């Protein structure tokens, strides 16, 4: 048997190519096949003919494939819409965008959100819902160095007043106790967090009795004396300098408490409290921790 | 460097020994543990984990809650732990507040605070007067007699 003539084969294929696109479209329900793909079902390549919107019968050329797409009549469109999934997608505007990625707006990223049109819309859409839903940004939030927001801890006025007195007397940190300016102490906010936790889990209130073992200059004691105004707050410190500084701070607080008692302009729950005392001694002299309900020890630093 | 501290303390070539004391000394921890187990106080708040408190020092405790905290100045972070006495019953705290014994070390201070603001203020003013207004410098023995310097070991008095 003589070998197949390649020229003849080209001629055959050219005959198929010569077939009118309309016919091809009708045969494949709006999908025109390329001739060499039509022979193999597995390698079938689909050339999508875009159906123009209703009222426009002008054929549309698929630019990607570089071939003339079929011209489609309204009857074809009806038929295609009922049978073919790919052509059903064409009537969907979203699907059309997927077919033409060139016309699609660029994806919005945080970096181009402010510059592109879509980005502006995206940015507005991202911001406005929270406003519309009434989720207003809480005023009690604080932005940290790298943009993270943390909830600000609410402190009572009398607590702030007492810390201000202590700071005025001893400076912001440690009060130069025991030959050095710094020793371990919590920030005002962290101490308030601890107090809140104690209130939540242990019922720390105005009937509680609180002791700080190694009280230093006594900030935790003064704190719980103000909030939640415990019945008795006691600090025991064996380092003389720190105890003396604590005593001096307590003296100022008691003076302030005397002033606040007479001042009618200050609300009752914001007046400076006084149920606090500092002891100079070694905890090892005590046998037990009675009568204290809360034994606190800042055992580090 | 892996070295024995005893050798370091007895070496003539060391002029300065730097120690970073991170916590109470172990002796104090042992005392605190014993005192806690003797007393009837319901809650303990400290900055050591349950492993140290319960496993190492045998405190009679169970963990209630913990929270991250930060220190002043360095912003060094530490976790604060809230413990309660093991097997604490719901009405225990109220009963304890109403009828609790008082250790002799804290008795005087407690009575002062209960006496009211004026009494407390007088007492504090007097203590400040005693400890802040020195007419002349004190020798160590005089200071110890007046109680300004404490002997660190109560047994050695």
The rounded mean pLDDT for chain B is: 82
pLDDT band (50, 70, 90) for residue B104: very high
ipTM above threshold 0.95: no
Chain-chain contact of A190 with B45 (C-beta, under 8 angstroms):
no
The H or E element that residue B132 is part of is helix B117-132
- Give the per-residue pLDDT at A170: 84
* Nearest-CA distance A137 → chain B (Å): 24
Q: Which of A79-93, B43-57, B123-137 has the highest mean pLDDT?
A: B43-57
* Cβ contacts of B44 on chain A, cutoff 8 Å: 294-297
Chain-chain contact of B43 with A198 (C-beta, under 8 angstroms):
yes
Low-confidence residues in chain A, pLDDT < 50: 1, 4, 6-44, 46-70, 84-90, 121-137
CATH 3.40.50.150 in chain A: give the residue spans: 157-296
* Nearest-CA distance A185 → chain B (Å): 6
Q: Does A268 touch chain B (CB under 8 A)?
A: no
A107 φ, ψ (degrees, to nearest 5): -60, 140
Strands (E) across A78-183 are located at 141-143, 149-151
CA distance A161 to A91: 70
Strands (E) across A111-228 are located at 141-143, 149-151, 209-213
pLDDT band (50, 70, 90) for residue B93: very high
* Nearest-CA distance B64 → chain A (Å): 7
Would you say A215 and A295 are in contact if contact means Cβ atoms under 8 Å apart? no
What is A157-296's CATH topology?
Rossmann fold (3.40.50)
CA distance A80 to A238: 93
B128 Cβ neighbours under 8 A, 6+ residues apart: A247, A248, A251
* Cβ contacts of B128 on chain A, cutoff 8 Å: 247-248, 251
- Give the per-residue pLDDT at B115: 95
Task: Please give the model's pTM, rounded to 2 decimal places.
Answer: 0.62
B110 φ, ψ (degrees, to nearest 5): -60, -45
- Give the per-residue pLDDT at A276: 97
Burial A62-78 (b: 16+ CB within 10 A, else e): beeeeeebbbbeeebbe
Strand, coil or helix: A150: strand
pLDDT band (50, 70, 90) for residue B92: very high
* Cβ contacts of A197 on chain B, cutoff 8 Å: 65, 67, 80, 82
Question: Which pairing describes strands A276-280 and A232-237: parallel, antiparallel, or unpaired?
Answer: parallel
From chain A residues 186-215, the ones with a CB under 8 A of any chain B CB are 186-187, 190-191, 193-194, 197-198, 200-203, 207-209, 211, 213-214
Percent of chain B with pLDDT over 70: 74
CA dihedral (A132, A133, A137, A139) positive or negative: positive
Going by C-alpha positions, the residue among A80, A82, A75 that lies closest to residue A29 is A80
- Give the per-residue pLDDT at A180: 58
- Give the per-residue pLDDT at B46: 93
* For range B51-78, the mean pLDDT: 89
The H or E element that residue A242 is part of is helix A240-262
Question: Which pairing describes strands B77-85 and B43-46: parallel, antiparallel, or unpaired?
Answer: antiparallel
Would you say B48 and B81 are in contact if contact means Cβ atoms under 8 Å apart? yes
Chain-chain contact of A294 with B41 (C-beta, under 8 angstroms):
yes
CA dihedral (B47, B52, B53, B54) positive or negative: positive
Residue of B nearest to A261 (CA): B117
DSSP-derived secondary structure letter, A252:
H
Going by C-alpha positions, the residue among A129, A159, A154 that lies closest to residue A141 is A154
CA distance A36 to A44: 9
């Amino acid at each position: 048997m003589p070998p197949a003539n390649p020229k003849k084969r080209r001629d055959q294929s050219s005959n198929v190519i010569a077939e009118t696109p309309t016919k091809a479209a009708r045969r494949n329900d709006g999908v025109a096949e390329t001739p060499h793909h039509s022979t193999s079902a597995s390698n079938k390549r689909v050339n999508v003919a875009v159906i123009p919107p209703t009222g426009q019968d002008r054929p549309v050329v698929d630019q990607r494939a570089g071939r003339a797409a079929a011209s489609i009549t309204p009857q074809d469109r009806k038929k295609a819409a009922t049978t073919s999934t790919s052509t059903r997608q064409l009537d969907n505007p979203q699907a059309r965008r997927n077919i033409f990625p060139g016309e699609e707006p660029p994806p919005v990223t945080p970096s181009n959100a402010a510059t592109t049109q879509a980005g502006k819309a995206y940015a507005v859409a991202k911001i406005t819902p929270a406003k519309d839903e009434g989720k207003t940004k809480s005023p009690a939030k604080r932005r940290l160095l790298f943009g993270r927001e943390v909830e600000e801890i609410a402190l009572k006025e009398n607590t702030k007043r007492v810390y201000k007195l202590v700071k005025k007397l001893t400076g912001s940190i440690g009060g130069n106790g025991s030959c050095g300016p710094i020793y371990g102490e919590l920030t005002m906010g962290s101490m308030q967090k601890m107090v809140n936790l104690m209130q939540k889990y242990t019922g720390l209130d105005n009937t509680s009795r609180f002791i700080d073992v190694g009280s230093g200059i006594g900030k935790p004691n003064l704190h719980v004396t103000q909030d939640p105004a415990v019945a008795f707050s006691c600090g025991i410190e064996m380092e003389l300098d720190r105890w003396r500084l604590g005593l001096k701070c307590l003296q100022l607080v008691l003076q302030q408490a005397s002033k606040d008692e007479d001042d009618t302009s200050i609300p009752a729950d914001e007046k400076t409290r006084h149920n606090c005392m500092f002891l100079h001694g070694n905890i090892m002299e005590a046998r037990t921790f009675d009568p204290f309900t809360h034994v606190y020890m800042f055992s580090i630093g | 460097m892996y070295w024995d501290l005893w050798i370091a303390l007895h070496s003539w070539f060391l002029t300065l020994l730097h120690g970073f004391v991170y916590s109470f000394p172990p002796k104090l921890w042992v005392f605190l543990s014993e005192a806690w187990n003797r007393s009837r106080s319901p809650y303990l708040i400290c900055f050591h984990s349950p492993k140290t408190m319960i496993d190492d020092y045998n405190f009679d405790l169970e963990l209630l809650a913990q929270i991250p905290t930060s220190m002043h100045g360095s912003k060094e972070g530490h976790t604060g732990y809230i413990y309660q006495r093991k097997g604490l019953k719901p009405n225990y705290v109220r009963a304890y507040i109403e009828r609790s014994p008082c250790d002799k070390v804290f008795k005087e201070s407690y009575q002062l605070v209960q006496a009211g603001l004026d009494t407390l203020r007088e007492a504090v003013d007097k203590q400040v007067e005693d400890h802040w207004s020195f007419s002349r410098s004190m020798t160590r023995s005089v200071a110890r007699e007046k109680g300004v310097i404490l002997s660190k070991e109560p047994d050695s008095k």
